[in-house]
Amino acid sequence: MDPTIWQTPTAYAELSRALQRRNAQLLATLACQHNPAPMRILDACCGTGSLLATLGDKAPGAHRVGIDVSPHMIAEARNRLYGEDCDLRVGDIMTHDEAASYDLVISNAALHWFSDNVEATVKQLARLLVPGGVLAVATAGLCDDAVAFDHALHEVLTGEAGESPFSRRRVTVIELQRAAGRAGLQPIDLFALTRHEVVDSESFVDWLCASGLDLGLGLSAHPRFVDAAKHRVRTRFGPLLRVGHWSSVGLFRNTAGVN
């Protein structure tokens, strides 16, 4: 992951509250239902700490660890969670080496950024679980509507028709289950989730830049390009944009060493 694409945590956090808050609440609730008293929780790619804050309410006795590749996101998370039992670190989850250390490893709207290879990503997260521990993830889901939205957005941002690179990072629930199985995890719950939110179209472009979803164009480094992209999005979709949020959600248990 390139940490330079997540340099605007405020813009990211503002729109993420609309686009991701319900998934975060749902994922935290389900994870703690299936692991009701976790002592150590890892939020993989924790961003600005929204999910960690929710987990503080769901699992008040747990020590929470958050890792993110972006120093800017971690700084925002430290402000949000100041005084709480949280260990917030800048780092790459794919090289994190605390094997068999966590009762719950959780990740919301981030799995697609860890690696192009979902199996390698899930295997790494599974390695961090204690026997009996739970992995809970919600990641970009693959379906026809999601791909169509990606392609329409790609055309507006670039002015060219074609496949969106982001679509290649999406996975189906079946692909997620297969990756977990090969990592030695057993499924607890699996489902696809679709949500829609109406957001300000120009704010959405800011969020794309902040979250790394700008199709690798490096929009945040080119203010003129950002302004042009905002104009094109507003012209195509109007001042308000109905944004689709397609997710593949999975909860899995590490049964290795469990009698």
Cβ(105)–Cβ(44) below 8 Å: yes
> Got the DSSP string for 35-63?
SSS-SEEEEET-TTSHHHHHHHHHSTT-E
Q: Which fold has domain 3-141+169-196+246-254?
A: Rossmann fold (3.40.50)
The reported pLDDT for the residue numbered 18 is 56
In this model, does residue 11 exceed pLDDT 60? no
The reported pLDDT for the residue numbered 7 is 47
- Tens of pLDDT, residues 187-238: 999 999 998 888 888 878 777 766 655 555 555 556 677 787 788 888 888 8
For residues 100 and 156, the model is more confident at: 100
What's the order of all strands across the beta sheet hosting 129-140? 86-90, 63-68, 40-44, 102-108, 129-140, 240-254, 185-200
For residues 24 and 2, the model is more confident at: 24
> Got the DSSP string for 125-177?
HHHTEEEEEEEEEEEEBP-HHHHHHHHHHHHHHHSS-S--GGGGG-B-HHHHH
The model's pTM is: 0.86
Domain ranges of the chain: 3-141+169-196+246-254
- Tens of pLDDT, residues 91-130: 999 999 999 999 999 999 888 877 678 999 999 999 999 9
The reported pLDDT for the residue numbered 219 is 54
Tokens representing 205 are: 């472009």
Question: How far is C-alpha 235 from the chain's CA centre?
Answer: 29
